[in-house]
């Protein structure tokens, strides 16, 4: 049995945040191949046929952009979130999802970095 792509509570939380900032979530989609992040959104990644890389834009060009990624299959393939050029995601050039249902939420600081919001269980990230 397949788990839901996203839980209602998580979607509601992010939509509430976006409403406060006056920007709606524009993408709630399943990805099966590598892609460039274009919009705020939820990206359910099915790596059954191969690894997926999401290339992030320059954080300075998308202040406050929020994206959530979730690996939805049990294959050995990974989901890699790749920061722009030498920018980082909480100090690392990439973040990798390896296990089924593993997830990460990130937000652009509007300058030179992406910050982790929380993990799949809604636990806030340790860094600030």
Distance between CA atoms of residues 72 and 46, nearest Å: 6
Q: Which CATH class is domain 8-119?
A: mainly beta
Distance of CA 50 to the CA centre of its chain: 18
Tens digit of pLDDT for each residue in 90-104? Answer: 999 999 999 999 999
Structural domain boundaries in the chain:
8-119
Q: What are the pLDDT tens digits along the chain (128 aa)?
A: 444 444 556 566 666 666 655 666 667 789 999 999 998 888 999 999 999 999 999 999 999 888 989 999 999 999 999 999 999 999 999 999 999 999 998 999 999 999 998 665 555 555 44
């Amino acid at each position: 049995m397949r788990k839901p792509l996203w839980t209602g509570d998580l979607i509601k939380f992010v939509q509430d945040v976006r409403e406060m900032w006056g920007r709606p979530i524009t993408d709630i989609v399943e990805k099966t191949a590598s892609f460039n992040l274009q919009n705020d959104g939820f990206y359910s990644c099915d790596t059954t046929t191969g690894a997926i890389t999401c290339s992030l834009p320059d954080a300075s060009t998308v202040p406050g952009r929020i994206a959530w990624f979730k690996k939805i299959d049990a294959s050995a393939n990974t989901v890699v979130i790749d920061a722009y050029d030498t920018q980082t995601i909480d100090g690392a050039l990439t973040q990798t999802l390896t296990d089924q249902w593993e997830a990460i939420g990130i937000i652009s600081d509007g300058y030179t970095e992406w910050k982790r919001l929380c993990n799949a269980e809604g636990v806030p990230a340790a860094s600030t």
